[in-house]
Amino acid sequence: MNTAILDIGASSRAGNADPAELDKFSALAHRWWDPASEFASLHAINPLRLDWIDGVAALAGRQVLDVGCGGGILAESMAGRGAQVLGIDLAEKLLKVAQLHALESQTAGVTYRAVAVEALADEMPARFDTVTCMEMLEHVPDPASVVRACGRLVKPGGWCFFSTLNRNPKAFIGAIVGAEYLLRLLPRGTHDWARFIRPNELARFCREAGLDPRHARGLTYNPVTRHYRLTGDTGINYMIAARRNA
């Protein structure tokens, strides 16, 4: 199993990254794999998004890139479905957590690197069957640049999967007031509503990157049952699957 991290140094933090966002999540790196921690929601939604991705583009035997992989929850899960996964992030503390967990869980087929997605697109164009970028776009200064890079990294006919939050009053109430302040599902300050992205904006980013948006699904949370489920409601959390034009 190869879970080596390539450390490209502090310069990796320049460009299309917000140092405050990197530091915010790095400070919680040691709690990433605790399902009762601030990242409980990531653990709860991971099986839903994993099944959806695998259902649209079968993971077994595929070369997969996970952009903004954090501590590796999705990357490890996709490797568990038989994919060869490269997870990339600029928060090196999170990558070390991801590497350690992969070693402890003896997960084969997952590798981690500290590299910007735009730089990787220059290095490895059209290399991956599937590219995932989940819960990242709302944390970077230029989300369209990330989508363009993902479009360059995926093979013709391959799939890119993005998830983010809708920018509307419903998402402000649900994702910030509700999730961060009332239900305390997330730490306060996790999200900035101004950085949320409407589905039509993300679809436009995809088309400009040579990607054809094919499917969209929403994630909704029931505070009574404390369960998430996939729905057709993209009003708050949503995912888009886009295929690379041949």
Q: What integer pLDDT is reported at residue 10 of this predicted model?
A: 36
- Return the pLDDT at 132: 98
pLDDT given at position 185? 61
Domain boundaries along the sequence of the chain: 5-244
What pLDDT does residue 189 have?
A: 58
Q: Which fold has domain 5-244?
A: Rossmann fold (3.40.50)
* pLDDT given at position 246: 77
Closest CA to 154 of 133, 170, 137, 140: 133
- DSSP structure string for the chain: ----EE---GGGGSSS--HHHHHHHHTTGGGTT-TTSTTHHHHHHHHHHHHHHHHHS--TT-EEEEET-TTSHHHHHHHHTT-EEEEEES-HHHHHHHHHHHHHHT--SEEEEE--HHHHHHHSTT-EEEEEEES-GGGSS-HHHHHHHHHHHEEEEEEEEEEEE--SHHHIIIIIIIIIIIS-SS-TTS--GGG---HHHHHHHHHHTTEEEEEEEEEEEETTTTEEEEES--SSEEEEEEEEP-
User: What pLDDT does 42 receive?
Assistant: 86
- pLDDT at position 12 is 42
Q: Evaluate whether 3 touches 96 at the Cβ level (below 8 Å).
A: no
Tens of each residue's pLDDT in the chain, 246 residues: 454 444 433 334 447 998 987 888 898 788 889 988 877 888 999 999 999 999 999 999 999 999 999 999 999 999 999 999 999 999 999 999 999 999 999 999 999 999 999 999 999 999 999 999 999 999 999 999 999 999 999 999 999 999 999 988 776 676 665 565 545 666 665 666 678 899 999 999 999 999 999 999 999 888 778 788 999 999 889 999 999 987
